[in-house]
Structure 1
């Protein structure tokens, strides 16, 4: 009888923990780009901030500046002030095994891409034919905006530099570029061709939606829009681009937050979802709450 009671109590405790965990993960996240991380052995709170790499307005408000005052260092996805960053990118810029953009499309499609690149990037296809397609895509990113492009990451780094705070990275540029290498060149080129054919109309629509949602700080909607994108790279390789990276960052975030108060700034789409950074940290026992 005693053994039955003990087993029942154990089951009840396990079931209760499961329910609490389920509710925490099922709960809708508040609209906020800035989140405070505390508890679970952290002496002083750290902060988590959602960014976008191309915006018109950075959304860096008084709360973010206060978070800077309460922290001692800035962690971005990669260390943007690493002196070896540019060399590392140049080293990984070209496709391997003699593959070229023009070898992955028809002659007529090559002409379409060539005209598009000349008009929007200032290079002919022949000049950058060996570049990895996603590198080329980043070149016309500013053209998707109806304003001078700003990068939230760069603005944050500027503030950190002014405050003599160290800037570090959750991953290396090499590991980030390897992720894109998992996406077949053919799929990457198809996205460039699709953009060239409609002259960026669809891409601009998606960008404008994303900018509007980012301004509203609705991180769940940002993730949702990313997953609904017409871009195959985002939809078919979500695990590589988001989920696995989120999971890989958690041990570093745990270690760093226990050492010194830190401001972590990553793409806003990484924050939301059951496999987003917020809920992954909560599952580990940390208190992660929106800063309003």
Structure 2
């Protein structure tokens, strides 16, 4: 099984999005952008990541890697370190309940059967894990089944940071681990997470096709279709703000200063770029010229 660190990248926003995105004016179809003007002596670059694709894919994107190499600062959603796996494990463990208590006997068995079919693992091994992590585990296993990655492949977010460290670049995380976990886990009750897990399990065929389509749309840079797919995830306005909009606004407090200091390469989940509350629109409102760039 892939490490829990690998699963964490899925959680950081390709799997979780918002119906509110589709109600906003669409930005152009691209996941790679140049940011210029508004006092910048040199352009910076914004790259929307897909957390289930890795270093092998990124290395094939010549324009992306050229701009990465020419940047002095590399920015991610958060900085990864050797403690991340243990932190993730700790955060995913439920208190005072278990999966077989949250789910009906029938739903537990349906989930267990599918997980066994996909991975060979027994759901009882993950009985104390919160439902969202089980959902991520299943989705990640689907990704590996249909789009197998080499054994040495690394999640692209981690790869950018490892290369930045090797090349002596400045590295900045836009939020802390606790801030991200509060947004992505703690705002959802265990019951809410269990309902979302069963939405996935009870629509297995759709889940499989979604993984295939998501990979295709991402390769095409088709942000519109990615947004459209994600509208199936039904979140309240408050949940949407915590998951996406509030984080984007907080990030915008940091990005101008970083870009003014030196050319910056910003790598965050692709769906943070979309809509009128996405980073592309927010950067434009702040006075920057933001235009799509070919990845190859």
Q: Which residue does 1:249 correspond to in 2?
A: 251
Q: 1:154 — aligned with what?
A: 158
Structure of higher RCO (CA pairs closer than 8 Å, 6+ residues apart):
2
Match of 1:182 in 2: 187
Aligned ranges 1:116-135 → 2 under 5 Å: 116-135=114-133
Change beyond 3 A, Cα 1:164–1:122: farther
Equivalent residue, structure 2, for 1:70: 70
Worse-matched range after superposition: 100-109 or 246-255 = 100-109
Inter-partner Cα distance in structure 2 for 1:77 and 1:99: 31
- TM-score when normalising by structure 2: 0.78
In the alignment, does 2:205 pair up with 1:206? no
Structure 2: tracts of 5 or more residues without a match: 1-23
Greater Rg, structure 1 or structure 2? 1
What is the rounded CA distance, in whole Å, between the counterparts of 1:121 and 1:232 in structure 2? 27
Structure 1 residue 244 displacement after superposition:
1.6
Seen in structure 2, the aligned counterparts of structure 1 residues 116 and 185 have a Cα distance that, compared at 3 Å, is same
Cα distance between partner residues in 2 of 1:28 and 1:193: 30
Structure 1 gap ranges (5+): 1-25
Aligned pair partner of 1:284 in 265, 283, 286: 286
Displacement, 1:121? 4.2
Report how far residue 104 of structure 1 moved. 1.6
Matches within 5 A, 1:131-150: 131-145=129-143, 146-149=146-149
Distance change (3 Å), C-alpha of 1:28 and 1:112 = closer
Name the SS for the 1:140 alignment partner: helix
Q: Which residue of 1 aligns with 2:44?
A: 46
Q: Could you report, residue by residue, the CA deviation over 1:22-51 in whole angstroms, capped at 9, with x for unpaired residues?
A: xxxx87533322111222232332110011
Match of 1:83 in 2: 82
Q: CA deviation at 1:122?
A: 4.2
Aligned-partner SS, 2:126: coil
Separation (CA, whole Å) in 2 of partners of 1:233 and 1:105 = 21
Give the distance between the partners of 2:226 and 2:276, measured in 1 at CA.
14
In the aligned structure 1, how far is the partner of 2:37 from the partner of 2:240?
30
**Which residue number corresponds to residue 219 of structure 2?**
215
Distance 1:125 1:34 in 2: 38
How far did 1:236 drift? 8.2
Whether contact under 8 Å (1:223, 1:270) holds in the other structure is no
Report how many residues are paired.
Answer: 262
Corresponding residue of 1:19: none
Residues 112 and 193, structure 1, Cα contact 8 Å, conserved in 2: no
TM-score (norm 1): 0.79
Distance 1:238 1:27, change over 3 A: closer
The answer (yes or no) to whether the contact 1:29–1:272 under 8 Å persists in 2 is yes
Tell me the equivalent position of 1:275: 277
Deviation at 1:211, TM superposition (A): 1.4
- RMSD (CA atoms): 2.6
Q: Indicate the residue corresponding to 2:168 in structure 1.
A: 164
